[in-house]
Chains A and B, each alone.
Chain A
Amino acid sequence: MRNLLAVLAASICAIAPAAAQVAAPPQSITNSVGMTFVLIQPGAMQVGVFTPACPTPPAPGTAPAGPTPPPGVANPPPVPRDPRNEWSAADYQACAEIVARESSPGFRVEVAKPFYLGKYEVTQEQWRQVMGRNPSTFQGPLVNGDTSKFPVESIEWADAQAFVAALNRREKTTAYRLPTEFEWEYACRAGGSGQQSWADIRATAVEGGTAFGRYGGERVTPETPAPTTRQVGTKPANAWGLHDMLGGVWEWVQDPYNGKMFADPSPARDGQVRVLKGGSFTSDVKNAICATHAGGPANGWDVGLRILKEAP
C-alpha cells in the first residue's frame, strides 16, 4: 500500500511539470494597440442566487434605526416617521412568507476553458486606433484635459461587434470577441459570489457624483461639476487583476437579454436587446455588482466594452 502511494506520488510529480511546460500560456499579454489581457483559469460558479433578507424587527421598546450616513456625508436628511409607515408583526410575517416562496438557489455554471480578458475597459485611444474615430461623449468641452485613457462610450452593441471584427482583421486573427455573460461574471467575481459587499464595491468601483448611495441632499454649489467617466485603472483591481469591472461604464457582452432578473442556464443566441454588465459611474451599490443582469440601451454615454481573447 505504501509502495503504491509512493509510485502514484512520483508519477504525479513527474507529469505535472511536463504538462505545465507544454500548456501554460502567459499570465498576461499585450496586443498591437496596447490592450493588456489577463489569463482567467477555468472553474465554476453559482449563478442566479436569490436569497433576499427581510428587515429585522427592532428590539422591543426601541425606535427603528434611521439611516446611517456614509462616511464623509454631512447633514443626512431626517426620516419621516408615522406609525402607519412602520412594519407590523403581520408585515414581517408576510415578508418571510414571500421570501421563502421566491428565493432561489440558482444554477451551476462551468467555465470550461481558460481565456484572456481585458485588464481594463477599452479606452478612447484604443478605439480610435482601431476604428479611426472616437465616438465618446466625454471628451472635448465636457471634460478638462486628456481623455485618451478614459473608457470609450456612446457605442451600441453592433459598434462593439464592428470593433472586435476590425481588431481581428488588424491582427489577422479570429481570437477576439465579446465575452459571454457567464465569462464576464465569472471573471468579475474572481472566486467570490455574485453579490459583493458594499464596502468591497466602494473599494474597487469607479464611482461618479452623487451615485453609489450618497444622498442627493448634499450641498451643491455652482462649482460642483456634474460627474463624468474617469481614466481607467485608477481603482484597485479585483482578486484576479481586473480593473473597473464595477462602475466606470456598462460593458456589452455577447448575450441577448431575456427580460428576467438573471440569465437562463442556456442563454438564447439572438435578440434585439443585449445584456449589460457591471454598472456604470451612475450606478449604485445596489446594482454595481457582478450578478447584475441589465439590458441596453442604458444612457449611451455610460456604455462601453471590455473584450476577450481566446487562449491558444
Chain B
Amino acid sequence: MRKLPALAAALLMTTTVQAQVPQGMTPLLHSDLSGWHWSLSTHHGSTGKAVFENGALYLSQAPYGQGGLFMTDKRYKNFELYLETDISWGLNSGVFLRSTETGGAYQIELVALASDSPAMTAVGSLIGEGVAVQTARPSDLRPIWKDGGWNSFRIRMTGDAPKVTLWVNGQQVLESQQPRNAKIAGETAGSIALQLHWNATYEPQIARASEGRSWKAGARIGFRNVAIKELP
C-alpha cells in the first residue's frame, strides 16, 4: 500500500518529464495518428504496426520481417523537423526526408549507437534510399548520445539541391550541401516518413546475412514530440 503513491509519483514523473515540442514548431504527431498513413507500395512492407502510448508512437514489424513506411500525408520541401526517438538494440530505422510514396528519399539513419564504429550506416548518417544521395557522416556522437533512452534530432533541409543540417541532442553534428537534386522526375518536395525496415522475404530468399539480422524479432522504435516548421 505504501508503495502505491510512490509508484504513482514515478509514473507521473515519466509522463511529465518528457521534453516538449520546441517553441515555434507545429506538432505533427497526434494520438489518433491523423495526418499520417502507411505506404502501400514501399518494399519495406505495408502491414506494419503503429501504436500510440504514453505520448509516443511505437513502430514494430507485422508479421515477422515485414516493415513499412509511416509517412505524412502532406509533402514538405524546406523545413526544420524536430523529433525524439528511442531506438532499441538490433533494429534499423530512419527518418526519410522529401520521401516519395514508395520511399525514395534522403534519409537520416537511425540505429542504436554502435559506439565502436564511425561507419556510414551509423546513426545520424545522411544516406540515400532509392536515390543517389551524396552520403555524409556526422561527427562523433559518443559524447552526447544517451544509450537506451530518448535522443533528440533536429533536421533542417532547404534548397532544390538541398543543404541538410543535423543537430543531435542540441549539438550540430552534420552539415551537407548536396551537389544536386537527387529526386526522380524533378520533384523537390515529399513526405516526412519513419522507416520500419524489412528483414525477411515472403519465402526464404535472404541473400545477405546483415539484412536477416537487421530487425530483432519483437523490437520496436519509439518517436515522440515530432514537430515541423516550414521554411520559405
Chain A positions near chain B (C-beta within 8 angstroms): 49-56, 58, 64-68, 77-82, 84-87, 91, 94-95, 98-99, 102, 137-138, 142, 193-195, 197-198, 208-211, 216-218, 220-222, 224, 226-228, 250, 257, 260-261, 273, 276, 279-280, 282-289, 291, 294-299, 301-302
A210 touches B128 (CB 8 A): yes
A216 touches B102 (CB 8 A): no
Q: Which residue of B lies closest to A208 (CB)?
A: B184
Query: Which of A50, A217, A294 contacts B63, CB < 8 Å?
Result: A50
CB-CB nearest 4 A-B residue pairs: A216-B128, A80-B114, A55-B212, A295-B40
A279 to B130, CA, bound (A): 13
B120 / chain A contacts, CB cutoff of 8 Å: 77-78, 217
Sort chain B's interface into a size bin. Answer: 35 or more
CA–CA, A286 to B121, complex, Å?
Answer: 20
Tell me whether B144 is interfacial, beta carbon within 8 Å: no
Q: Which of B102, B121, B186, B209 contacts A299 (CB 8 A)?
A: B102
Q: Min CB distance, A249 to chain B, in Å?
A: 12
**Of the residues A54, A77, A210, A296, contact of B132 by C-beta under 8 Å:** A210
Contact with A along B12-56 (1 / 0, CB 8 A): 000000000000000000000000000011111111000000000
Which residue of B has the minimal Cβ distance to A138? B185
Once the chains bind, are A67 and B208 in contact (CB under 8 Å)?
yes
- B residues 106-147 touching A (CB-CB < 8 Å): 107, 111-117, 119-122, 127-135
- The stretch among B78-86, B149-157, B167-175, B213-221 that forms the contact with chain A is B213-221
Q: Contact at A64–B130, with CB atoms within 8 Å? A: no
Q: Are B133 and A220 within 8 A (Cβ)?
A: yes
Q: A193-B203, A216-B133 in contact; A87/B216 too (CB < 8 A)?
A: yes
In this assembly, does B200 line the interface, its C-beta being within 8 Å of a C-beta of chain A? yes
Determine the chain B residues whose CB is within 8 A of the CB of A86 once the complex forms: 90, 213
Q: Which residue of A lies closest to B130 (CB)?
A: A211
In the complex the two chains form, is A302's CB within 8 Å of B113's CB? Answer: no
- What residues make up the interface of B, taking CB atoms closer than 8 Å to A? 40-47, 63-66, 89-90, 100-102, 104, 107, 111-117, 119-122, 127-135, 179-186, 198-213, 216-218
A-B CB contact pairs (8 Å), 26 listed: A52-B201, A52-B203, A53-B200, A55-B212, A64-B210, A68-B208, A79-B117, A81-B117, A82-B115, A94-B216, A98-B217, A98-B218, A194-B202, A210-B130, A211-B130, A216-B129, A216-B130, A222-B179, A250-B41, A257-B40, A276-B41, A284-B130, A295-B40, A295-B46, A298-B101, A299-B41
With both chains docked as a complex, state the minimum distance between the C-beta of B161 and any C-beta of chain A, in angstroms: 9
On whether the beta carbons of A220 and B216 are closer than 8 Å, the reply is no
In the assembled complex, the CB of B168 is this many whole angstroms from the nearest CB of chain A, namely 16
Q: How many contacts between A and B, using CB within 8 angstroms?
A: 224
Instruction: Verify A78–B119 contact, CB threshold 8 A.
Output: yes
Q: Is the interface of A mostly helix, strand, loop or mixed?
A: loop
For the complex, what is the distance from the CA of A79 to the CA of B107, rounded to whole Å? 17
Residue among A52, A64, A68, A285 having the largest count of chain B Cβ atoms under 10 Å: A52
**B201 contacts A56, CB within 8 Å?**
no
Given contacts A50-B63, A282-B104, A283-B102, contact A137 B213 (CB under 8 A): no
CB–CB B40/A286 < 8 A: no
A142 with B185: CB separation less than 8 A: yes
Check if A53 sits within 8 Å of B206, measured CB to CB: yes
With A and B bound together, what is the CA distance between A86 and B43 in angstroms? Answer: 24
Complex-state Cα separation, A226 to B134, whole angstroms: 13
**CB within 8 A of B101: which of A197, A283, A299?**
A299
Residue of B nearest to A201 (CB): B205
Q: Contact between B183 and A64 (Cβ–Cβ < 8 Å)?
A: no
Also in contact, A286 and B43, with CB within 8 A (given A53-B200, A226-B183, A302-B102): yes
B205 and A198 form a contact (CB under 8 A)? yes
A300 to chain B, nearest CB (A): 8
CB distance from B131 to the nearest CB of A (A): 6
By a CB distance below 8 angstroms, the chain A residues around B107 are 216
If A67-B209, A276-B41, A298-B102 are given as contacts, then 5 extra A-B residue pairs at C-beta distance below 8 Å, sorted by A number, are A54-B212, A85-B111, A195-B201, A286-B201, A287-B42
